[in-house]
Amino acid sequence: MIRKLFEQDREPLLSYLGEEASFNLFIIGDIENFGFEQEFQELWGQFNEQGELQAVLLRYYNSYLPYTKGNFDVEAFSQIILGNEEAEMLSGKLEVLNQFSSSLSFSNRKQLFFAELTEPQSLQSVSESAPIQQATIENCDRVFQLQESIEEFNLSQTARASFRQTIGSGTGRTYFYEEEGQVLSSASTTAENSFSAMIVGVCTLTQARNRGLASLCLNKLCHDLLSEGKTLCLFYDNPLAGAIYKRLGFQDIGHWGMFYFR
């Protein structure tokens, strides 16, 4: 049986998702931050005859994210997605997404390594005197100017508003390094929830690279989140970047997929 999920489903749903909290950080974060009664967000669950949850599907605006630990009704979930003519993307654990290949058509598929950090042993020690600041609403525009200058980020027109909303709502944080009023390097999180957070936006101004500034920001960010009992997660597709993250203690735990409908 598949049905919509509501507030009364919160406890068993979070318990189910929490068994693989890193892979489910986006679903968990959206539940904790927005609940079940938002126009832009819906959740469905598949249950067995004993009433146990077997699979979950999240709609966040026009993006969909499925999760299951085993078999599920792919056709039924596909029909829910096909009911939205504006559907843009299916994302999630790669082995779950691959099961939709026979029932949905995609214009493009992207595969990323998924890594997590649970222990601080490999991190450098962080001095309290290190000139690392946490972004606030008051200074986040200056930090965003750095991110805008990074060609590889290819930011959308709504990226600045989204960045401000993340800082203001506390669903993510950014640590940055600046000299003479110019932000030179930063590292951010998004989708923070009670279990985990996603590392994003690690960058340094071109002329300030090779000084270890991004490592300073990232180390501070990781130390603080781990001290709060959260697991750190990140995506990467560049083996060189992967080697850097692994030196910090990140370990690959699987693959993440982003399948686009158009």
The per-residue pLDDT for range 167-195, each reduced to its tens digit, is: 988 889 999 999 988 999 999 999 899 99
- Would the pLDDT of 129 be above 80? no
pLDDT over 80 (residue 124):
no
Res 127 pLDDT > 80: no
| Fold (topology level) of 2-105 | Aminopeptidase (3.40.630)
**pLDDT over 70 (residue 130):** no
pLDDT, residue 125, reads 67
Could you give the count of Cα atoms lying within 13 Å of 157 in the half-sphere of its Cβ? 0
Residue 21 above 90 pLDDT?
yes
What pLDDT sits at residue 97? Answer: 98
Mean pLDDT of the chain: 92
For the cut 80, the answer to whether the pLDDT of residue 157 exceeds it is: no
- For CATH 3.40.630.30, list the domain ranges present in the chain: 116-254
Question: Please, what's the b/e burial string for 122-131 (b: 16 or more CB within 10 A of its CB; e: otherwise)?
Answer: ebbebeeeee
Assigned fold of 116-254: Aminopeptidase (3.40.630)
Residue 19: per-residue pLDDT: 92
